[in-house]
């Protein structure tokens, strides 16, 4: 019996034969790492025609469940076909799945060899010569994408800043969690929205970033993951490319962790791109930072509600604080340092011994499981399993920090918020009140900004102490 969510080789062989003709056998079926919202499977299809053996290296892209803002697989298939015919570097699409294939909603495309893992692209010696070229290549490829005649594309939503602000605000409200930093960002974005691009809406990739490029030693070979494509402001692609989360720790290089904005814009202009300047990119960088924070919430919710159970999706919920911190720095200026009146308790050296339970403590049990993952699982696995073991290890480190700090930080934050807002209530109610006051137009005075920043700082103390 196959494992849940597995893709059977026999089904792949049958649908490949149906679509391409002839007889096929399939092997090498494996799920690729990454893809928190959609599944990507690699496989090899073997056939014989007139006595000549041939092998196609293919990829199946399919949906485990719908996600807000994503185009359907059939639309993505048609879009990739149109973009490829226009000369942009994308995988050649081969065929759409049909209902009788019993493999879900998706399509099959060619597999292009190369690296997609951003941290390797930014750090491995193999890509040292490519890194200085990537920003300019991103500009040149984007100019091709943005110049495509929209009349020849499948039906796509037209999404300017105001439509997307409304879309992501509705998602935040649906989740029901208070995020005062998001409210500051929504207000800023609403009041600073740029004029519509000259020449009208153009094709926007929607997820144009490091991690969605297939890279070889010579540079970018292909652009992947078109499910967020729409018509809109082409500067959105560059703002997204500059979001701190997509620099993967190389923060001195604004563009994807590998290049400078000047190189990106110069190459874009030289390749025929128009209408994008640094100010417009900065607006969309701020929007993109907010967008990623909301997507992190959405992915976490898919785990919590059992839609797509995944340790990766679960962990994304705790990455929201990173985007909040980045938004504050982009909108209100760099961090001035901890406010002394908000000084939160440091991590406890020794957890409380006041417990009825036997040794080891909950914290030490978590530590033991983490050490097992790091010493036994991660060194002896590869690919997706190794990746998720690393994610699980990071999750357990987070739990250790939260257990160590205890409930003192929550009570301290509640007391400080009660003083700021002028009434006493549970912490969740006070957070909702602070968010509502910002959303409803309260002045962004210094005490409010300090409170929002220190709340985020407290979350990062647990989720990622080194992020600030």
Q: Work out the number of other CB atoms within 10 angstroms of the CB of residue 50.
A: 4
pTM of the model: 0.92
β pairing state of 219-223 and 213-216: antiparallel
Is the link from the previous residue into 113 a cis peptide, with omega within 30 of 0?
no
Where are the chain's structural domains? Answer: 9-110, 118-297, 320-463
390-411 pLDDT per residue, tens: 999 999 999 999 988 877 888 8
CA atoms within a 13 Å half-sphere pointing along the CA-CB vector of 75? 14
Distance CA 295, CA 236 (A): 16
Q: Which of 63-72, 118-127, 172-181, 317-326 has the lowest mean pLDDT?
A: 63-72
**pLDDT for residue 194:** 97
**pLDDT for residue 2:** 43
Mean pLDDT of 155-171: 97
**Cβ partners under 8 Å of residue 7, min gap 6:** 29, 31, 41, 43, 60, 103
CB 464 within 8 A of CB 245: no
Q: Which two tokens stand for residue 230?
A: 């729409």
Helix, strand or coil, per DSSP, at residue 229: coil
Residue owning tokens 């930072």: 289
Would you state the CATH architecture of domain 118-297?
Alpha-Beta Complex (3.90)
Q: Work out the number of other CB atoms within 10 angstroms of the CB of residue 109.
A: 24
CA atoms within a 13 Å half-sphere pointing along the CA-CB vector of 47? 16
| Four-residue CA torsion sign, 206, 263, 249, 123 | positive
Mean pLDDT of 223-243: 98
Helix, strand or coil, per DSSP, at residue 49: strand
Bridge partners of 57, per DSSP, are 44
Distance CA 435, CA 452 (A): 9
**pLDDT for residue 57:** 98
Mean pLDDT of 411-429: 95
Given pLDDT bands bounded at 50, 70 and 90, which one contains residue 28? very high
Distance CA 142, CA 147 (A): 8
Given pLDDT bands bounded at 50, 70 and 90, which one contains residue 6? low
Distance CA 254, CA 118 (A): 14
Q: Is 244 exposed, middle or buried (0-12, 13-18, 19+ CB in 10 A)?
A: buried
Residue 196 has pLDDT above 60, yes or no: yes
Mean pLDDT of 220-228: 96
CB 184 within 8 A of CB 331: yes
439-452 pLDDT per residue, tens: 998 777 889 999 99
32-69 pLDDT per residue, tens: 865 555 789 999 999 988 788 999 999 999 985 445 56
Higher pLDDT, 1 or 221: 221
% residues pLDDT > 90 (the chain): 81
Distance CA 172, CA 293 (A): 10
Residue 280 has pLDDT above 50, yes or no: yes
Distance CA 456, CA 414 (A): 14
Distance CA 217, CA 238 (A): 23
Q: Which CATH class is domain 9-110?
A: alpha beta
**pLDDT for residue 70:** 76
Mean pLDDT, the chain, whole residue set: 92
Distance CA 342, CA 450 (A): 9
β pairing state of 93-96 and 106-110: antiparallel
336-376 pLDDT per residue, tens: 999 988 876 554 445 555 678 888 988 899 999 999 999 99
Distance CA 364, CA 309 (A): 26
**pLDDT for residue 8:** 87
DSSP secondary structure, 378-407, as one string: GGG--HHHHHHHHHHHHHHHHHHHHHHHTT
Longest CA pairwise span in the chain (Å): 83
Query: Which phi and psi (to 5°) does residue 52 adopt?
Result: -105, 120
Given pLDDT bands bounded at 50, 70 and 90, which one contains residue 20? very high
Distance CA 241, CA 88 (A): 18
Among 306, 317, 289, 455, smallest CA distance to 394 is for 317
Residue 384 has pLDDT above 90, yes or no: no
Among 258, 259, 201, smallest CA distance to 231 is for 201
Task: Residue count of the chain, please give it.
Answer: 468
Among 159, 157, 243, 150, smallest CA distance to 193 is for 159
């Amino acid at each position: 019996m196959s494992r849940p969510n597995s893709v059977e080789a026999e089904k792949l062989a049958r649908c490949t034969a149906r679509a391409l003709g002839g007889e096929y056998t399939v092997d090498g079926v494996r799920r690729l790492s990454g893809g928190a919202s959609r599944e990507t499977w690699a496989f090899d299809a073997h056939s014989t025609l007139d006595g000549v053996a041939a092998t196609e290296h293919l990829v199946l892209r399919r949906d485990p469940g719908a996600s807000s803002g994503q185009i359907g697989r059939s639309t993505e298939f048609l879009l990739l076909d149109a973009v490829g015919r226009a000369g942009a570097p994308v995988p050649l699409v081969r065929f759409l799945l049909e209902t009788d294939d019993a493999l879900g909603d998706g399509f099959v495309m060619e597999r292009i060899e190369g690296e997609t893992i951003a941290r390797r692209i930014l750090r491995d010696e193999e890509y040292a010569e490519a890194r200085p070229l990537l920003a300019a290549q991103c500009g040149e490829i984007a100019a091709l994408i943005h110049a495509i005649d929209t009349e020849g594309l499948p039906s796509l939503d037209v999404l300017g800043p105001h439509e997307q602000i409304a879309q992501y605000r509705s998602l935040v409200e649906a989740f029901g969690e208070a995020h005062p930093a998001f409210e500051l960002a929504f207000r800023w974005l609403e009041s600073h929205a740029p004029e519509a691009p000259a020449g009208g809406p153009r094709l926007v990739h929607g997820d144009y970033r490091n991690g969605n490029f297939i890279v070889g030693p010579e540079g970018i070979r292909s652009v992947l993951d078109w499910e967020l494509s729409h018509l809109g402001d082409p500067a959105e692609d560059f703002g997204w490319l500059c979001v701190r989360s997509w620099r993967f720790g190389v923060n001195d290089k604004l563009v994807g962790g590998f290049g400078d904005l000047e190189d990106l814009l110069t190459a874009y202009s030289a390749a025929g791109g128009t209408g994008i300047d640094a100010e417009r990119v900065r607006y969309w960088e701020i929007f993109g930072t907010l967008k990623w924070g909301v997507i992190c919430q959405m992915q976490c919710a898919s785990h919590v509600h059992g839609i797509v159970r995944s340790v990766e999706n679960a962990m994304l919920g705790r990455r929201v604080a990173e985007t909040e911190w980045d938004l504050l720095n982009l909108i209100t200026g760099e961090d001035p340092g901890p406010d002394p009146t908000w000084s939160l308790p440091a991590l406890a050296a020794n957890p409380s011994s006041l417990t009825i339970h036997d040794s080891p403590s909950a914290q030490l049990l978590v530590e033991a499981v983490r050490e097992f993952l790091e010493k036994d699982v991660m060194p002896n696995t590869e690919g997706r399993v190794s990746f998720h073991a690393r994610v699980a290890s990071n999750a357990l480190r987070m739990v250790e920090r939260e257990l160590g700090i205890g409930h003192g930080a929550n009570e301290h934050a509640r007391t400080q918020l009660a003083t700021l807002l002028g009434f006493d209530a549970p912490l969740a109610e006070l957070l909702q009140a602070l968010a509502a006051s910002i959303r409803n137009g309260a002045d962004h005075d210094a005490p409010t900004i300090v409170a929002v920043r220190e709340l985020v700082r407290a979350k990062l103390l647990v989720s990622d102490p080194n992020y600030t």
